[in-house]
Amino acid sequence: MTANQSPFHSLQHAEARARFDLLAVDAYDVALDLASDEATFRSVTTIRFTSRGGPTFLDLKPARVNEIRFNGSPLDADLLERGRLPLETVEGANELVVDAVMRFRNDGEGLHRSVDPADGRHYVYGMCFMDAAPSIFACFDQPDLKAPYTFHVTAPADWVVVGNAPGSNPEPGVWELEQTQPLSTYFVTLVAGPYHLIRDEHDGIPLGLSSRASIAKDLDADAHELFTMTKQCFDEFHRLFGIRYPFGEYHQAFVPEFNAGAMENPGCVTFRDPLIFSSRVTRGVRIARATTVAHEMAHQWFGNIVTPKWWDDLWLNESFAEYMGNRVTADVTEYDDAWTHNAYARRQWGLVADQRPSTHAVAGNGAVDATAALQDFDGISYAKGSSILKQLNATLGDEVFFAGAIDHFTRHRFGNATMHDLFASWEQAGAGDLSAFTSSWLRTAGPDTIVLDRAAGTVRRTPPAGHPADRPHTLRVATAAPEGKWEVSTLTVDSPETALDVAEGRAVVLDPYEDTWALVQPDATTVAALKSLLPATDETRLRAGVWNNVRSAFHNAAIDPADVIDLLEAGLPVEDSDDAVFYTMPWAITKVAPLTADPAAALRRINTAALAKVGDSVPGSTLQLSAFQAAVSSATDAGQLRSWLDGRVLPDGVEVDLDLRWRILVQLAVLGETDRDELGAALEAEPTARSRVEHTRATASLPDAEAKAWAWARFTGEVDVPNYELEAAGAGLWRTGQEHLTDEYVDRYFADVPRTVEVRSGWVLAEAAQFFFPATSLTEETLAKARALIDLDGLDASIQRRVVDLTDELERRLAIRRAYPAR
């Protein structure tokens, strides 16, 4: 059997090299008409380029072509095949004009068009990463064919248009944008609609914020914090790099139904608009927004001034921005605990990805085409790469580290470069020979495992299977006797065995401060001791390190789920970080409790601990909020949920806003204690974008056959919904305890998922494969079916990659169940 073929070619690295050798793109001129139709838009692209002469191809993904003229002569549009138009270029100057009609999209890519349910207004934004630009304008779509862009936009008269360069509005509905600096195709964006705009200025840089009109008051409330962080970050990046931001205005657009956290488009960064807070959020959620703002600002230098030549160096963009985003947030904003947030929010993302069968080197990951590269846009590219750059900075020191970065930006200004170029700049700045570092840390996949052999008095370092390495690690070790005080020492692990004498019964936590990148986990003696130590551990970062040790052990079936629940009960009363509650409690509810001997009892214990934390927290604090969120998500008492929803019995300091209201309704749906009428009435009462997504989640969560069929119709594409609703439908479909309703969808998933290439593409194709994977079907039979799907001939590469990772997760969960069977 052969799975269905993707409708478009994915650019091969060899093809990109050949096209780069042939062409130099001089300029793009793009005219878009966004006013004439709600389903499509006209796109007229003029490309001026110089060629050495010979055959190549243009990238174009239209609904239809009106006309193509190449060097003044018409070109047959029927030559277009799977997104490529062959061209026979002449030596010297060439001009190509493509007049086409393009489709608005609803999957977060291309030119995405969204209708706000709150007021019926339409909003548009462009997302050209990774290969979506040709669905907006004709182009040579690869990162190293940079060129300046000029945009002319016709839009409804009440719309505003923002792009990569400043623009003017000479008459109603007409927008003329200035020519940009040279940009890669994947950086091009356009944000258009009846957006609410706020302007400011800092150090000669015009600043802007925008959001949908229906959340204007929320943007107004957040604007001071957003502008303050932006200004603080600009000052720090200018200080560190000594190179001013070069892209004119700096606009931050919060747009609907955005797939990623944000996209670093020069001059106009796009963010997912749930980052404008319409309900109360925890401090950790605000830190996440702050680090995202700083991350995208770091990209203006690393990524935008200098762009990777090919996707296999994309880690340079993301690892550098991840490291700098956390560092700058912690150093110059009010969120000086950003590294603690990072420990809870990002560390396991990277470590788990690095242990998958799909693990890959941070650098030089062999991305043969754009589709393959997208699959490696993961926790390794972000969290692991960031950790390794942090280690490198600690070794080199700021003077050498930033001198090398500045040299890199200067040498390749507005151009493209490779990892070799960057490391050459560091070596020239005084780093010495970095080849051993590069080989061990960046070109070798997988984490070393570092564990304590208590009986032998040694710490053992084991490289990942199949990826031999000899990596030295310098890390801190925290030790304590039960009910004693923690002592912290530094240990260098540079051989397979390193001596470490530990007194009998003492707890040992390896690398609690994330000094290195390694898989560390507590032994049985430590786990036992932690049950009395955690309540007396008053250092937030150390507790974060403990929980990362515990989570790694759980992932590897090296700790009893019952012990995890014990540790949660022990540590929660003293926890002062809402990040700890926000990230640890949902993991315990969804991952740990179902694998205990008595899942219902474990859930009740989690709920009791969460409620106790609500009562012990300062009323109105974000710590209390995070505990209350956990209490709702773990609740099994419908009467209690109803009392909260009605506002009759609420803890002092808790107010049920939109977010909490839907959180309660979703949990009532899971329990079968609400119905479609109540959910529909809640949506009608507050018809916001958030409500629509949560209504989908709640409806799919109802424990009846109709709800599951309703969700499945969204997966197959029978019912077309935007990306956020698609994700919510998948999350609601697979609920622990509803296996009698979802068992029939296990086989249907494996039969239907290969055919989803017919209804979606790009980012959302792989995301949907993940959202709807039968994660609650913990059986050997499901595991066998997943393995068979992986081997299916012709299965789309992005679907295959997700299924490989999900199959590994299923296998690990089954391993936990085997290791700790119900007693």
User: What number of H helices and E strands is found in the chain?
Assistant: 28, 28
Residue burial 135-167, b: 16+ Cβ < 10 Å; e: rest: bbbbbbbbbbbbbbbbbebbbeeebbbbbbbeb
Identify the active-site residue in 296, 322, 694, 767.
Answer: 296
Tokens 């040992």 correspond to 508
Residue burial 218-237, b: 16+ Cβ < 10 Å; e: rest: bbeebeebbbebbbbbbebb
163 contacts 44 by C-beta, under 8 angstroms: no
Angle CA 172–216–259, to nearest 5: 90
603 contacts 634 by C-beta, under 8 angstroms: yes
153 contacts 188 by C-beta, under 8 angstroms: no
Q: Report CA-CA distances (Å) from 169 to 133, 155, 399, 806.
A: 24, 11, 46, 49
Residue 777: beta bridge partners? none
φ, ψ (nearest 5 deg) of residue 821: -70, 160
For residue 241, count other CB atoms closer than 10 A to its CB. 20
The CA distance from 26 to 17, in Å, is 18
SS (H, E, C) 635-681: CCCHHHHHHHHCCCCCCCCCCCCHHHHHHHHHHHHHCCCCCHHHHHH
Longest dimension (CA), the chain: 85
The CA distance from 210 to 194, in Å, is 10
- Chain centroid to CA 381: how far? 11
The CA distance from 276 to 239, in Å, is 29
Q: Report CA-CA distances (Å) from 39 to 67, 117, 723.
A: 20, 17, 17
User: Six-digit token pair at 165?
Assistant: 């360069």
User: Which region holds residue 347: left if phi is over 0, alpha if psi is between -120 and 50, else beta?
Assistant: alpha
The CA distance from 488 to 760, in Å, is 52
The CA distance from 83 to 175, in Å, is 29
Closest-CA residue to 137 (of 25, 245, 224, 54): 25
φ, ψ (nearest 5 deg) of residue 275: -75, -5
Tell me the torsion sign for CA atoms 580, 586, 591, 593: positive
Q: Note every long-range contact of 428-432, with CB atoms under 8 Å and residues 24 or more positions apart, other chains counting.
A: 428/404, 429/400, 429/403, 429/404, 430/396, 430/399, 430/400, 430/403, 431/396, 431/400, 431/404
The CA distance from 135 to 729, in Å, is 27
The CA distance from 330 to 799, in Å, is 37
67 contacts 99 by C-beta, under 8 angstroms: yes
The CA distance from 291 to 293, in Å, is 5
Burial of 38 (0-12, 13-18, 19+ CB in 10 A): exposed
607 contacts 569 by C-beta, under 8 angstroms: no
Tokens 């944008």 correspond to 177
686 noted as active-site residue: no
Catalytic annotation, residues: 296
